[in-house]
Amino acid sequence: MNFLKCRLYIILFLFAGYFYSQFATAQEFHGSPDLIIYNANIITMDDPSFSSDPGSINQAMAIKADIIVELGTTEAIRNLAGPQTKQIDLNGRTVMPSFILTHEHPTDWAWTEPSSLNHVFPEGNEDIVVRFLEGTADEQIANWEQVLRDAISVAKPGQWIFLSSDFGGNFEHMPKLFTDFFQHVSLQRINELAPNNPVRVKNGFIRGLVNQRGVEEISRVFPGEYTGGGSGDRGPEGQMSASGRMLEPDIILHGKTKKNADLLKAQMELWTAHGISTFGSSPYTLNNLQALSNLDQQGRMPARFAWSYSGPNEELHTIRLLSALVGNGSDYLWNIGAQGQRVGGTCTTLAASQRVKQQESCVFDPGQPGRRVLEDIVRTGGRVAAMHTGGDKDIDNLMDVIEEQSALAGLSLEEIRSRRHAFDHASGAPRPDQIPRIKRLGMMISMINTVLWENRTGYDVAYRVRNYGEEYAHYAVPRQSVTRAGIMNTQEIDRALPHFIFYNIWVGMTRYNSGCDRTFAKEEGTDLITQLKALTTWGAYYVLREDRLGSLEPGKIADFTVLDRDILSIPVDDIPNIKVLMTVLGGKTVHLLPDLAAEVGMSAVGPATWPSRPLENRYVFKGPPKSCPPLQNL
């Protein structure tokens, strides 16, 4: 742990050297724009209010370096062009600010789907033998031993083997694999098959198993680190396990930060291909943070990463240092707060059966280790951000901590509000009576529309209806209530499904669950503009960059995306079918499909150029799986 602590302080010290750069306004720029897009339908999203106004609509936009210089009519903006200005005629296509997801884990998703892993670690590479199971859920379960045997046959002695089931491009195999896969895979059998190779086996999601040879590797790299007995993501007191999220980046890729950087770059490129250019998340491990830092320093970041600290070191002086770093960083990698290792619990104030209540847990009750960390964050003037939460009771606990510790620190209400403390998911909170208190404290809420359709765990609305009753369906993602109260809320997918971005918008509007063929708490659905503000302008406030991200305005960074249809005028039910043709990050094209590239005289960019063609073979929206839990109360 001393080694980890040392690395932490070194990295954070380096981050402290970054500071905000001050951008000039349009009239202060000298010379001609580098890029002009024209004949477009530019939705600027420059109205951050709680109205249904998307802001001004323009025809053209001029960009110098990475900054928007001016917007206006096609004629006016083209008159700014010089001989070296690149001009792109978009033929009436719609342009929007690219999207901000405030709770998203590309560092996790890189290890849960095959596209980026196989792109960076192809067959025959020297680092890892990568295998994803293929076929239906039943076929994957039946074939895992043989696939592992085949991997062992080509692995060198001591080489890591990574084996995972595959939920599928639309999570079509998820319902069975999530519940059944590890019923058929045991550590004992993995140890018998692979005594000479460290092996990681996952079920298509975050957690997995590590064989004995793998545990030995963990002990070699981090002596004394908790391993979870070869499985799990959390220790007995909620601490991070080296056999959880740390395993892949910090153990399998130990000493291979460049490879990890290449992997994270590839994964983020898959998201920018769907218009998503900024992530709010914990990097979870120091190797991930170092890899992101390397990409930033080398000018290779294909997206922006607003990071929150989640451990492993939670000593007071570490928290003090993090509190001093809030907001600091570059335009591609900066700190937005901390959360600690122990995330918000599932405990609720709702009546339920004994079986359901026994499954609930509070993490922030008085005396709990998780509460102590929150207390230190708030008391030292830091910000709680990017924190998973489940039930409504721990949100009460969180607000108690904010009020009590802010008072001890001598903070005024205005100073408390300026912190923008946040909680994420909103899968079971806030309750209606919590909303005024949240507003008074100036808090923000990151909301996950995914739980309205997924039907996988107790987080999801269908399970909440089963466990607590239909009358509490409005506790899940109450976006309409929160918006009407004047509380900024944001968006997340929180799954390796970037191509579900427009479906999630539609679900947030309709609250329709196709697996159950039910609409849950329709009154909490919102209009389209609210969903878009949550993805753009309000998201920029969450990641503490509202002065430069989230809308298309002179002086802001040129992050935008080009859509294949007008999102403001098409039928609502056509929204899930929208495709992203082009994404620009700071004036640089990071995604461009071949057809539009040919039309505008450019070359395709991003995953569209990968030999595996993931945008055609995997990242194609077909709808969620048709599964639904029994909805009667337990």
The DSSP 8-state label assigned to residue 520 in this structure reads: -
Is the predicted pLDDT of residue 413 greater than 90, yes or no?
A: yes
pLDDT digits (tens, 9 = 90+) for 445-480: 999 999 999 999 888 999 999 999 999 999 999 999
CA distance 560 to 582: 8
Query: Do 156 and 163 contact (CB within 8 A), yes or no?
Result: no
Q: Give the model's confidence band at 29: pLDDT under 50 very low, under 70 low, under 90 confident, else very high.
A: low
> Which pLDDT belongs to residue 344?
85
The whole-number pLDDT of residue 24 equals 37
Interaxial angle between packed helices 393-408 and 369-379, expressed in degrees from 0 to 180 and rounded to the nearest 10: 40
Asked if 555 contacts 24 with a C-beta cutoff of 8 angstroms, the reply is: yes
C-alpha 201/C-alpha 130 separation (Å) is 10
CA separation for the pair 379, 319 (Å, rounded): 10
Return left, alpha or beta for 65; rule: phi > 0 is left, psi -120 to 50 is alpha, else beta.
left
**pLDDT on residue 312:** 85
CATH of 323-542, one of 3.20.20.140, 3.40.50.300, 3.40.50.1970, 3.40.50.720: 3.20.20.140
Which pLDDT value is given to residue 154? 97
Identify the three-state secondary structure at position 401.
helix
Alpha carbon separation from 102 to 215, 306, 457, 568, 602 (Å, rounded): 33, 8, 21, 23, 32
SS3 assignment, position 594: helix
Q: Report the alpha-carbon distance of residue 275 to residue 583 in Å, rounded.
A: 6
Q: 204: how many CB neighbours lie within 10 A of its CB?
A: 23
Domain segments of the chain: what residues? 23-98+553-617, 128-252, 323-542
Average pLDDT of every residue of the chain: 93
Q: How many DSSP H helices and E strands does the chain contain?
A: 23, 23
Identify the CA nearest to 434 among candidates 348, 337, 374: 348
Q: Can you give the pTM of this predicted structure?
A: 0.94
Distance of CA 324 to the CA centre of its chain: 24
Nearest to 98 by CA among 271, 295, 259, 294: 271
Euclidean distance between CA atoms 393 and 297, whole angstroms: 42
**The predicted structure's pLDDT at residue 331:** 98
Tell me whether residue 571 is exposed, middle or buried, using C-beta atoms within 10 angstroms of its C-beta: 0 to 12, 13 to 18, 19 or more: exposed
- Residue 228 reports pLDDT greater than 70: no
Please name the residues in contact with 263: beta carbons below 8 A apart, sequence gap of 6 or more. Answer: 110, 116, 117, 120, 121, 253, 291
> Phi and psi (nearest 5°) for 167?
-65, -20
Tens of pLDDT, residue by residue over 502-543, are: 999 999 999 999 999 999 999 999 999 999 999 999 999 999
CATH 1.10.3720.10 corresponds to the domain 23-98+553-617: no
Percent over 90 (pLDDT), the chain: 87
Cβ(468)–Cβ(429) below 8 Å: no
Phi-psi region of 116 (alpha: psi -120 to 50; beta: other; left: phi over 0): alpha
Q: Are 125 and 171 in contact (CB under 8 A)?
A: no
Whole-number Å distance between alpha carbons of 519 and 513 = 6
Pairing of strands 94-97, 560-563: antiparallel
CB within 8 Å of 298: residues ≥ 6 apart: none
Rounded-to-integer distance, Cα 313 and Cα 366, Å = 21
For tokens 């002990």, the residue is 219
Residue 337: phi and psi, rounded to 5, are 140, -160
Instruction: Specify the pLDDT at position 244.
Output: 80
